[in-house]
Amino acid sequence: MSTNNPKNSFEPNGRSAVASYVATLSADLAALARRSGLDTIGYLLEMVRLEAESAARQGGPVVRR
């Protein structure tokens, strides 16, 4: 089983794991931005966090652009 397959949420590098990591990082960055007076960036990063948490719960929606 390959650990490089982002479609498998049971692997360490799976979509859910990546989405969870993004949620954690964006929460930290949002707090940093807000402490620095960058409220709009903080708000946008909170939206990223919410979307990433949702994707982690659902196994990550497949969006092709």
List Cβ neighbours of 7 (8 Å cut-off, separation of 6 or more): 14, 15, 62
pLDDT at 5: 47
User: What backbone phi and psi angles, to 5 degrees, belong to 13?
Assistant: -100, 20
Using the predicted structure, report yes or no on whether residue 10 has a pLDDT greater than 90: no
pLDDT at 8: 45
pLDDT at 32: 98
**pLDDT tens per residue, range 37-58:** 999 999 999 999 999 999 999 8
User: What backbone phi and psi angles, to 5 degrees, belong to 63?
Assistant: -120, 120
CB atoms within 10 A of CB 53: 17
Count of residues making up the chain: 65
Using the predicted structure, report yes or no on whether residue 65 has a pLDDT greater than 70: no
